[in-house]
Structure 1
Amino acid sequence: MEGAVKTLTLLALFVAARQVNCQEAILHISNGITDREYCIVHNHSWTPLSQTLDGATQYPLVNLTSTMLCNGSGVSPDLVKGKALVVMRGDCDFSQKALVAQNLGATTLLIASNKSLITPSANDSDYAKVHIPLALMRYRDFLDAQQVIGEGMTVKLYAPVLSKIDASIAVILLIAIVTVALGGYWSGTCERDRLNSGAGLEGGADNKADSGELSLYSPLKVVIFVAMMCGMLVLMYFFYNVLVYVIIAIFCLACASALFSCFDAVMEKIGCGTVSFSIRTWNFSVRSLILAAVCISIAVVWGVNRNEDRWIWILQDLLGVAFCLNFMKTISLSNFKICVILLSLLLVYDVFFVFITPFFTKNGVSIMVQVALGPDASGEKTQGNMVEVPAEPQAPSEKLPVVMRVPRFSAWAQNLCGMQFSILGYGDIIVPGLLVAYCSRFDVWINSTKKIYFVSCCIAYLLGMILTFVVMLLSGMGQPALLYLVPFTLITSAVVAGCRGEMKHFWAGTTYEVLDSREPLLPGVLPSNPDFSPASLCPF
């Protein structure tokens, strides 16, 4: 059952998300005593705004929400000249409203909307005609300003520049590399414990099965597994509104179990004792009961508050790290051949569902992005250069909880339109992490004191992640990280094995049914020499 839960959860992990180039800005309203700031949406390429509040020009605000301003009839130029206008959305294009306001002598046009705020646009011929700032605001925000500030309102419009290089990227990178390194180290430690316990390689298959660990050793099973993932992703695309709750439930169960495993391993490492007691024929550990209660509580708190953006990301990242660590420790790839097959297929899977599927979908959005962001996510549907902000409070749309999320710190104080996050899918940690875990176990098999395979693969993963973020920043859109991580990690591992003359053994790995732990993996190495390390055969 545990294996089935892990398998189902993995099917939902490999998603990607792209960042959007937001065109959100801030409306500062004041009467000299009280001031408020609200979210507005503008088109920077059409009517650019000041980047700072101090640099923005202040204008008196005239309330014309009783009209759509599709023509100038009934509006006195003396009333609006040199002032900012707020009018209602509808009946005509944004550019027509702007031209009418401009001809009347207005200096700024705010369009109040009861619908979602979208980036204003116009025909190419109209861009050159409009010279005044134009932005959309929520009508409910204007009513709030009227109630709080009252008469004599003045406004300033400004759009702070958000740096593409945000500290959240460094945090995401740190989370990823630490998780991969810890997961690989944990897998290697468990392998060494099995060898030292006397179970060895000879009875390793049964021992792994008894411990609940799963091993992928058949190429056919790997192909079937990836095919199931493709089918699961397509099902999520067509039946998202139902299956998303199934994934959320599985996520809570799997993460509670993973968090328990991580905490229990830490307790065991630091030598924390435990007290056991029996009730009839059942034995209970006080430490296990306390840990189980804590882990279940954390998962429940996340499940209940999963749509609270301001702080729930901390719990989601904690659960995500625990899940990835436990997955890398539990799921093992038996040899490098399986690693190559699995990672190569997942690379093709990632690229196909991100870059190819937009040619087949009705809205031109890739299946991967649609599933990752949810059907209500609008940033990708507008190709990254448009935004859409709800005009009224809405029930948050459910999203798959399979990404690390860190708020963009540069936009932390400017989230009037909604918080912005840097994200990384769990699959971008787990997939290369399985290869890192295999390298760590192989170091144990060959008794490498320098852990050359493990360290080299971790460095390759770090370089691959750095390249992923560099390309993302240069291109202005999210990237399928496996496109860079898979070649970096596979090629690095193969080069190390080839340099050391161990490719044959690295490729074949170990079959637990055949090899005996009392014999070295490499021929010609005497088991009686415990200080011998095959790493000495290679200068690194």
Structure 2
Amino acid sequence: MRSGITLIFGAIFVNQQALGEYGMAHFSDKGAKKGKDYCIFFNSQWAGLPQDLHKASRLQIHDLTSSVLCHPSEVPSEGFPNRIPIVLRGNCTFYEKVRLAQINGAKGLLIVSKDRLTPPAGNQSQYEEIDIPVALLSYADMLDIARTFGKGREVALYAPSEPVLDYNMVIIFIVAVGTVAVGGYWASSHDIKRRNMMKQKKKGAVKKQGVETLDVTSVMICVFMVMCCSMLVLLYRFYDQLVYLIIAIFCLASSVGLYSCLWPLVRRIPLGKCRIPENNLPYCHKRPEVRRLVLAAFCVAVSVTWGVFRNEDQWAWVLQDALGIAFCLYMLKTIRLPTFKACTLLLLVLFVYDVFFVFITPFLTKNGKSIMVEVATGPSNSNTQEKLPMVLKVPRLNSSPLALCDRPFSLLGFGDILVPGLLVAYCHRFDVQMQTSRIYFLACTIGYGVGLLVTFAVLALMQAAQPALLYLVPCTLLSSLAVALWRKELPQFWTGSGFAKDIPQPALVKVPINCTRTPPANYEPRGDEATNPSKDSPLVLAKGLPQDKTSRAE
């Protein structure tokens, strides 16, 4: 179940999208050159905004924040000549507000909202009638404007264009490729350790190690896909009811992953090796070491801290990414694909799943939206306004004023790391067994990096959400397959027959040819053994007749 939840939400790389557009309201005191930018949310179908602040008209504000501007009686006697009124949201439609503002001479309309900023929508005939911009401003920004500027304040509305690609793409690329490479290498090192234990005939240790991994079969892949599709549709239908369950599962799973990643480091510290006293507490009756309990408490504390402050966009994303990376590394260590056949089946099935829920579902939904995009970014009609945590998120690093708005992050799903990462781990294990100097591992990792760059390029060109596995799966599968064909090892690579057997074979020992052994005193040959003795007969051994030069050790 833990691995299933990982991939449900992950197979997409997407910048947050919305029906409306973000813009800026530059406020300043009358005649002042310097001012301050505030985020607004507008709909260009009412009227567009210039991209440059210097091309935007500075107009005086008419403060009507004590009114909702739904009736002509709320319009002052002088109207709004060459001004932009600020009114409260509520009691009537956007169209009724902006129509009253326009017929009374306003050059725009700012609507203050205490709720989440949503697109000021209307119908086509209303769009054609209105030719002034209408935008939403947050209530908190309105209070800051009232404190910062005097009564004669002015505003200029504009919508700066954002760069096609942001510098945060570099961070996402490094984090994703690094996690895949480290996870694949770590998972394979675990397999190497297990193999060495087998060679040393440490049967108890081998059995213990075997519990920590899970070999994926074809049946498990099919069941997993049914779970993925079902869970994604349930989230689409009942997002507000299930989102908190997913957040709780992520907190639990990520704390386990963080513990798994930090324990190899903590156990090198020569402190806290003493064990707790005997007790009957759950999970403590075996008297674990003090340092294990301290580490577990630390991991739980980090996870709970993120859970409490998850909506603090200034810094909570760092904790989410750290917990997400630890979770991905733990899953890559735990889940193992035994053959390239299983790798191909899993990647191709998720490839189809990803493309279907991103590109095909818009033709099947009533609102024409992708189910995957809606779930990954949070439905626009969600009452909770919570986001699913199964993504890496990095804030935008450009200097655009739009960084003030509520979409400063680019996202990469965990599935885009885990799914190709399982193939990378398989390639490294095959490298070790076949002693190929990690050529499969390097080729598959490079293929993953190339696929991610292709995803970035398509995202920049299309300016729409993309299913990353559409590009990652072909690049990783073809790169590893090409190496297998070039080295003429495709049969072994496909079936995994290059791996050592789990059960160590008994050793061979040499036995002298002319050894003699006295048969038992009470031994009597039976039947024709006296005239035609077998090679294992005590008579043969006693007479020193030729035998096989080697025999299995007992």
State the match for 1:297 in structure 2: 301
Q: CA contact under 8 A between 1:195 and 1:517: conserved in structure 2?
A: no
One-letter amino acid matched to 1:153:
R
CA displacement, residues 320-360 of structure 1 (integer Å, 9 cap, x when unaligned): 11111111111110000000111111111111222222333
Aligned residue among 415, 435, 454 for 1:447: 435
Question: Which stretch shifts more, 285-294 or 299-308?
Answer: 285-294
Gaps of 5+ in 1: 379-394, 520-540
Q: 1:11 to 1:243 in 2, by over 3 A?
A: farther
State the match for 1:478 in structure 2: 465
State the match for 1:527 in structure 2: none
Instruction: Let me know the Cα RMSD of the aligned residues.
Output: 3.6
Distance between the aligned counterparts of 2:369 and 2:423, measured in 1?
31
**How far off its partner does 1:163 sit?**
1.3
Q: CA contact under 8 A between 1:11 and 1:232: conserved in structure 2?
A: no
State the match for 2:69 in structure 1: 68
Alignment of 1:423-462 (within 5 A): 423-449=411-437, 451-462=438-449
CA displacement, residues 25-48 of structure 1 (integer Å, 9 cap, x when unaligned): 222333358965433223446634
Distance between the aligned counterparts of 2:113 and 2:308, measured in 1?
32
Q: Give the TM-score normalised by structure 2.
A: 0.78
One-letter amino acid matched to 1:333:
L
Q: CA contact under 8 A between 1:28 and 1:36: conserved in structure 2?
A: yes
Q: 1:375 to 1:338 in 2, by over 3 A?
A: same
Q: 1:507 to 1:299 in 2, by over 3 A?
A: same
Distance between the aligned counterparts of 2:129 and 2:233, measured in 1?
46
CA displacement, residues 430-486 of structure 1 (integer Å, 9 cap, x when unaligned): 00000000001000110122x000000000000001111111111111111111111
Q: CA contact under 8 A between 1:191 and 1:444: conserved in structure 2?
A: no
Alignment of 1:393-404 (within 5 A): 397-404=385-392
Distance between the aligned counterparts of 1:318 and 1:513, measured in 2?
35
Q: Give the secondary-structure state (helix, strand or coil) at the position aligned to 1:29.
A: strand
Q: Give the secondary-structure state (helix, strand or coil) at the position aligned to 2:428.
A: helix
CA displacement, residues 129-150 of structure 1 (integer Å, 9 cap, x when unaligned): 7665443434675466446534
Within the alignment, does 1:409 sit opposite 2:397 as a pair?
A: yes
**How far off its partner does 1:377 sit?**
5.8
Q: CA contact under 8 A between 2:61 and 2:85: conserved in structure 1?
A: yes
**How far off its partner does 1:295 sit?**
1.3
One-letter amino acid matched to 1:364:
G
Q: Give the secondary-structure state (helix, strand or coil) at the position aligned to 2:418.
A: helix
One-letter amino acid matched to 1:373:
T
Alignment of 1:268-283 (within 5 A): 271-278=268-275, 279-280=277-278, 282-283=286-287
**How far off its partner does 1:176 sit?**
0.5
State the match for 1:224 in structure 2: 223
Q: 1:183 to 1:134 in 2, by over 3 A?
A: same
Within the alignment, does 1:332 sit opposite 2:333 as a pair?
A: no
State the match for 1:28 in structure 2: 26
Q: 1:314 to 1:412 in 2, by over 3 A?
A: farther
Question: Which stretch shifts more, 358-367 or 293-302?
Answer: 358-367
Q: CA contact under 8 A between 2:343 and 2:423: conserved in structure 1?
A: yes
Within the alignment, does 1:163 sit opposite 2:163 as a pair?
A: yes
State the match for 2:250 in structure 1: 251
Q: CA contact under 8 A between 1:201 and 1:516: conserved in structure 2?
A: no
Q: Percent identity?
A: 43
**How far off its partner does 1:128 sit?**
7.4
State the match for 2:239 in structure 1: 240
Q: 1:209 to 1:103 in 2, by over 3 A?
A: same
Q: CA contact under 8 A between 2:27 and 2:156: conserved in structure 1?
A: yes
Distance between the aligned counterparts of 1:512 and 1:200, measured in 2?
17
Q: 1:89 to 1:240 in 2, by over 3 A?
A: closer
**Bigger relative CO (Cα 8 Å, ≥ 6 apart):** 1
**How far off its partner does 1:211 sit?**
4.1
Distance between the aligned counterparts of 1:153 and 1:134, measured in 2?
18
Within the alignment, does 1:306 sit opposite 2:310 as a pair?
A: yes
Q: CA contact under 8 A between 2:24 and 2:39: conserved in structure 1?
A: yes
One-letter amino acid matched to 1:310:
Q
Q: CA contact under 8 A between 1:333 and 1:434: conserved in structure 2?
A: yes
Distance between the aligned counterparts of 2:251 and 2:100, measured in 1?
55
State the match for 1:41 in structure 2: 41
State the match for 1:492 in structure 2: 479
Q: 1:495 to 1:137 in 2, by over 3 A?
A: same
Q: 1:73 to 1:435 in 2, by over 3 A?
A: closer
Q: Give the secondary-structure state (helix, strand or coil) at the position aligned to 2:135.
A: strand
Q: Give the secondary-structure state (helix, strand or coil) at the position aligned to 2:27.
A: strand
Q: 1:347 to 1:300 in 2, by over 3 A?
A: same
Q: Give the secondary-structure state (helix, strand or coil) at the position aligned to 1:197.
A: helix
Distance between the aligned counterparts of 1:460 and 1:506, measured in 2?
17
**How far off its partner does 1:255 sit?**
1.2
**How far off its partner does 1:171 sit?**
1.0
State the match for 1:194 in structure 2: 194
One-letter amino acid matched to 2:485:
G
CA displacement, residues 492-527 of structure 1 (integer Å, 9 cap, x when unaligned): 1111101100000000104979566789xxxxxxxx
State the match for 2:282 in structure 1: none
Distance between the aligned counterparts of 2:240 and 2:132, measured in 1?
43
CA displacement, residues 194-249 of structure 1 (integer Å, 9 cap, x when unaligned): 22334489979964764421111x32222222222222223333333333233222
**How far off its partner does 1:409 sit?**
1.9
Q: Give the secondary-structure state (helix, strand or coil) at the position aligned to 1:157.
A: strand
Distance between the aligned counterparts of 1:128 and 1:221, measured in 2?
55
Distance between the aligned counterparts of 2:388 and 2:102, measured in 1?
46
Within the alignment, does 1:16 sit opposite 2:12 as a pair?
A: yes
Q: 1:205 to 1:231 in 2, by over 3 A?
A: farther
One-letter amino acid matched to 1:228:
M
Pick the structure with greater CA Rg: 2
**How far off its partner does 1:164 sit?**
2.3
Distance between the aligned counterparts of 2:75 and 2:298, measured in 1?
67
Q: CA contact under 8 A between 1:247 and 1:400: conserved in structure 2?
A: yes
Aligned residue among 350, 373, 377 for 2:377: 373
